[in-house]
Structure 1
Amino acid sequence: MAIPHLRDAAQPVPTGTDLRPEPGSFRDPANQVFHAGQDVLRALDETAAAHWRALAGSDFFPPLLATGKVCGTEELPPGTAPERWAAMLRHERIPFVSHPYEWSFAMLRDAALLHLEILRAALPAGFTTKDGSAYNLQWRGTDPIFIDVGSFAPLREGEPWAGYRQFCQTLLYPLLLNAHIGVDFQPWLRARIDGIEPDQMGRLFRGTRRLLPGVLTHVHLHGSVQRRNAGRSTAVVREQLRDAGYSRELALATVRGMEKLVRRLDHQPPESHWVDYQRTCGYSEDDRATKERFVTAALASAPRRRLVLDLGANDGRYARLAARHAGYVVAVEQDPAVVDRLYRTLRGEGERRILPLVMDLADPSPGGGWRGRERASFAARTGADTVLALALVHHLAIGRNVPLPEVISCLTALAAPGGRLVVEFVHPEDPMARRLLANKPDGIFPDYRRDAFEALLAAHGTVEQRLELPSGSRTLYQVALGG
């Protein structure tokens, strides 16, 4: 089964000594993910290999591959798999790996809907998914992709969906928090890799909140059933469900009901300063036009970039410019409302080259999960060819009290060796800088000066271009970073 997104299968197949285990793939001993160069590989034991071949030969699975809803996957020739493994798959490489706590509300909802759509297609064909985790989904721009091919397994009659609890904890409950009580879910998911427990949700949804859509069934009833069955084995629970008449048709009806619920959930956050930043930021038309020309020239002056980071992306104005000159752009913004609006706009346009993410750059995503390595930190996932840091430095250095040397070290560390930094310095006399400084003690930032900033840039690379905007209070730099 050849998939267009994969490398030519005629290319050399990696050997066992080339394989590097994926730190986030160790919980299922039947199939594990490895990396070899640019290849993403999945090793299967005898049972998992049999499940894969049945899956590949089914009627429902190939259309999911063809439409890109499941990541591109093909089986490598016999004898490829290392000792103890029965088969080896090669997967499409995702342009940039992100985590659910970096997504906006609409992103999480669309990821949940794709998961349910896939399960709804699998059940009538006699398959289910063993997992329901949000981490089984990734993005190609604004298109969600299901990546855990090893999660598919034959369905046993009378067996409930094994992934239901994970789906609730990492997808449904975060959506309910945002939609029903306006609480941002990102900190909750970042704090717990397994998501939000039913008992935690239950304490938040008491009184009349119990009657909100989805709460009584999927929070309170789920929590009650979970407590009642805590001491029983899976086999006993399965037998009880079978005796009670639980069937494939009932499972399918449950999935359809869940889909209807998730589709109805929505969250319209209150307006914030950042939502309308392009109008309120104070740039003159001359400044804006000059800045766009500088950024465009910087992006166009080098060979086509594989990955560009737009840090402090706001409404995506410069991410869109970058997408004309790069294979992929990750647009990072702190405000979930701004990211949500950008995502909805880009998705409506069918944009596959820009991935918007929610992240506070003064507190970026750390490593998480088992030994802090199961989910890689933001810094470990970057290595961009170009980093855009426009109208950002003053917010970190003055607004968040991060010393200027630390700011520059952070920005340059996000680039690949030999990469490029396009950065804007807002002078202390700029109105925005004065506004930030007005809330700080006098003299707290003696080194926030243009000469000190330029010296730091020179220590990290070569300043290739420098341009002061017409207003005279902001300067743009194009820096070739040291290898």
Structure 2
Amino acid sequence: MDKAILESELKVKDLKTVGFSIDKVCQLFFYEDRVFRAINTPYEAQVQEMFSCGMIQELIDKNLLINSWITDVKIEGFNLVVEHQRVSFWNYPYEWSFSMLKDAANTVLTISEIAQSYNFELFDVHSHNVVFDMGTPKFIDLGSFFRKDPNDGKSWTGYLSFYNAFYIPTYLYTKGYSDLPQSIQLFHGYYNEKDFFNLRFKYATFFGSWLSNLVFKFYFNARKLANARHFRVVEKFGKHKYSQYILFFKNNFQNIFSIKKARRLMKGLKNSKFDSYWMNYHNEIDPATNKRFQRITELFNTDLKDAKSLIELASNQGKFANHLLANSQIDKVIATDYDKNAVDAIYKNNKGSDNVLPLVYDFVRPNGRITDTRIQDRIKADVVMALAVTHHLILTQEIGLKHIFSILESLSDTYVVVEFMPLGLYAGDLKTTPPVPDFYTLAWFKEAFSAHFDYHLDEELEINRHLFIGKVKKS
């Protein structure tokens, strides 16, 4: 940022912001490559205390909160501005695997425990307030902290948000549901809590829906009251003729729905229980002894020697991505696959890594919310690589080559590495290999490739593998 600009006051009209959400505590602004939170006047003292008491620093030191500090930068209309470290590859909860979601949930719980030790609490704990900084989940929203009211005991006002955003989708994974958890993160209200109640407490429907509805209504409202902030309950029911009974109920039940209770729920969830087609594809692969992978590694160290970051599409368990990290100049990898179990394996092998970000991503049919930034506008790399995948997309899913190359082009800053399989769905036996269409030839692939990229080479690695390397055409 220009020093002259820093010494003056930034105008709000010159800053980008997020218009979708409303935050009482602060406003989020972006200027060039920097991220600021301008604190609203009524909350200046609270935010100052959050920093001065040591809570923010403890959260940062424990790798739970994105690095944040009070800055000297001035923004028009605000007296206090906090700056955040910018996350290099922004990601969303529907791009996480089971273990990523579970670790994000436990991160939120740990933050909440620490916050309560400083007499603060975390109340807005939806999953979109967490981001994976490579292999580590971190909380990002300072506006989600409030001073804790001593009248609220051990209750946690964030319990309901946590339950819906983290516990429900994680629970569904453990019961064998593969798509519902992702859909919940994509579509608000996609799977309502009443349906989940009936799934989790099957006995509730034993005597019919009328009893189930009655039990759920009592359960939901009791929990809602128990977790409401004390002063809110007084505001709403203070003059009610039964106010003393309402407050008695809250005071006696509020400690049930606590961080400790949420922690017990999460500990009860063990492993994800669904199978997927490609989950074991890389089980027997060792890139260190595979001639094909060795040759591609050589090309990374020669033809692509100026590249530092890599997006691997259809990475499966990420074995080759990890091999490149250890045996080439590549130092950042975004390893993606649409198979959630495969991505879970990538994450487990790279948990806490500063070099690998695993993402669930179907690159030909990407998911997203209308309010979210498109993946190609938040995640790019020097190299985009797609090995052993185009033949499946073209021959079994009828995806056009132009669409495939357009996606690769949108994600790459410089290079594209992609394999063509001239024998199509060949699996080692020519006698049982399905025939390929007449158009499906090496010349056809090379022509389409050259239309999108500055052609560098194609090389036969095996009988059914031709490797293409190109550069994104400069506009």
Q: TM-score, normalised by structure 1?
A: 0.82
* 1:85 has 2:85 as partner: no
Kindly provide the CA deviation profile for residues 421-448 of structure 1, in whole angstroms up to 9, marking residues without a partner as x. Answer: 011111135514999x978xx87x5433
In structure 2, the partner of 1:4 is none
In structure 1, the partner of 2:141 is 148
| Contact 1:382-1:415 within 8 A present in 2 as well | no
- Return the alpha-carbon distance in structure 2 between the equivalents of residues 422 and 433 of structure 1: 24
How do 1:96-245 and structure 2 match up within 5 A?
Answer: 96-159=89-152, 161-193=156-188, 196-208=191-203, 222-225=219-222, 235-236=234-235, 243-244=247-248
Q: Sequence identity of aligned pairs in percent? A: 22
Match for 1:262 among 261, 266, 289? 266
Q: How far off its partner does 1:54 sit?
A: 0.8
Match for 2:16 among 20, 27, 40? 20
In structure 2, the partner of 1:473 is 464
Kindly provide the CA deviation profile for residues 355-375 of structure 1, in whole angstroms up to 9, marking residues without a partner as x. Answer: 111122232123x1xxx12x2
Q: Counterpart amino acid of 1:141?
A: M
Equivalent pairs, count? 452
| Contact 2:134-2:355 within 8 A present in 1 as well | yes
SS of structure 1 residue aligned to 2:420: strand
5+ long unaligned stretches in structure 2: 207-214
Kindly provide the CA deviation profile for residues 120-167 of structure 1, in whole angstroms up to 9, marking residues without a partner as x. Answer: 111132101230111111112221111112211211233453322221
- Return the alpha-carbon distance in structure 2 between the equivalents of residues 328 and 42 of structure 1: 28
Q: Counterpart amino acid of 1:156?
A: D
| Contact 1:412-1:481 within 8 A present in 2 as well | yes
* 1:308 has 2:301 as partner: no
Q: Counterpart amino acid of 2:258?
A: T
- Return the alpha-carbon distance in structure 1 between the equivalents of residues 314 and 118 of structure 2: 45
| Contact 2:174-2:269 within 8 A present in 1 as well | yes
Kindly provide the CA deviation profile for residues 207-259 of structure 1, in whole angstroms up to 9, marking residues without a partner as x. Answer: 24899xxxxxx987653437889xx9765468669933867996598211211
- Return the alpha-carbon distance in structure 2 between the equivalents of residues 200 and 376 of structure 1: 30
Q: Counterpart amino acid of 2:464?
A: S
Q: How far off its partner does 1:463 sit?
A: 2.0
- Return the alpha-carbon distance in structure 1 between the equivalents of residues 223 and 236 of structure 2: 11
- Return the alpha-carbon distance in structure 2 between the equivalents of residues 91 and 284 of structure 1: 38
- Return the alpha-carbon distance in structure 1 between the equivalents of residues 257 and 198 of structure 2: 28
CA RMSD, 1 decimal: 3.8
Which 10-residue stretch deviates more, 186-195 or 354-363? 186-195
SS of structure 2 residue aligned to 1:276: coil
| Contact 1:397-1:407 within 8 A present in 2 as well | no
Which 10-residue stretch deviates more, 264-273 or 164-173? 264-273
| Contact 2:425-2:433 within 8 A present in 1 as well | no
Q: Classify 1:219/1:133 alpha carbon distance in 2 versus 1 (closer, same or farther; 3 Å).
A: farther
Q: How far off its partner does 1:44 sit?
A: 1.2
In structure 1, the partner of 2:212 is none
| Contact 1:43-1:89 within 8 A present in 2 as well | yes
- Return the alpha-carbon distance in structure 1 between the equivalents of residues 141 and 256 of structure 2: 21
- Return the alpha-carbon distance in structure 2 between the equivalents of residues 15 and 72 of structure 1: 22
SS of structure 1 residue aligned to 2:168: helix
Match for 1:290 among 289, 292, 298? 292
In structure 2, the partner of 1:365 is 367
Kindly provide the CA deviation profile for residues 61-89 of structure 1, in whole angstroms up to 9, marking residues without a partner as x. Answer: 31111222111001111xx3322223211
SS of structure 2 residue aligned to 1:139: strand
In structure 1, the partner of 2:337 is 333
Q: Classify 1:322/1:47 alpha carbon distance in 2 versus 1 (closer, same or farther; 3 Å).
A: farther
- Return the alpha-carbon distance in structure 1 between the equivalents of residues 68 and 130 of structure 2: 15
Q: How far off its partner does 1:15 sit?
A: 2.7
Q: How far off its partner does 1:401 sit?
A: 1.0
- Return the alpha-carbon distance in structure 2 between the equivalents of residues 405 and 356 of structure 1: 26
Q: How far off its partner does 1:187 sit?
A: 3.6
- Return the alpha-carbon distance in structure 2 between the equivalents of residues 383 and 219 of structure 1: 46
Q: Classify 1:306/1:429 alpha carbon distance in 2 versus 1 (closer, same or farther; 3 Å).
A: closer
In structure 2, the partner of 1:43 is 38
- Return the alpha-carbon distance in structure 2 between the equivalents of residues 364 and 9 of structure 1: 40
- Return the alpha-carbon distance in structure 1 between the equivalents of residues 217 and 178 of structure 2: 19
Q: Classify 1:279/1:114 alpha carbon distance in 2 versus 1 (closer, same or farther; 3 Å).
A: closer
Which 10-residue stretch deviates more, 103-112 or 82-91? 82-91
SS of structure 1 residue aligned to 2:75: coil
Q: Classify 1:11/1:305 alpha carbon distance in 2 versus 1 (closer, same or farther; 3 Å).
A: farther
In structure 1, the partner of 2:388 is 391
- Return the alpha-carbon distance in structure 2 between the equivalents of residues 195 and 327 of structure 1: 38
* 1:447 has 2:442 as partner: no
Q: Counterpart amino acid of 2:172?
A: L
SS of structure 2 residue aligned to 1:424: strand
SS of structure 2 residue aligned to 1:244: helix
Q: Classify 1:272/1:294 alpha carbon distance in 2 versus 1 (closer, same or farther; 3 Å).
A: same
- Return the alpha-carbon distance in structure 1 between the equivalents of residues 159 and 455 of structure 2: 53
| Contact 1:315-1:338 within 8 A present in 2 as well | yes
Match for 1:378 among 369, 375, 379? 375
In structure 2, the partner of 1:66 is 61
In structure 2, the partner of 1:354 is 356
Q: How far off its partner does 1:331 sit?
A: 0.9
Q: Classify 1:59/1:301 alpha carbon distance in 2 versus 1 (closer, same or farther; 3 Å).
A: same
SS of structure 2 residue aligned to 1:431: coil
- Return the alpha-carbon distance in structure 2 between the equivalents of residues 228 and 249 of structure 1: 9
| Contact 1:362-1:400 within 8 A present in 2 as well | no
Q: Classify 1:182/1:208 alpha carbon distance in 2 versus 1 (closer, same or farther; 3 Å).
A: farther
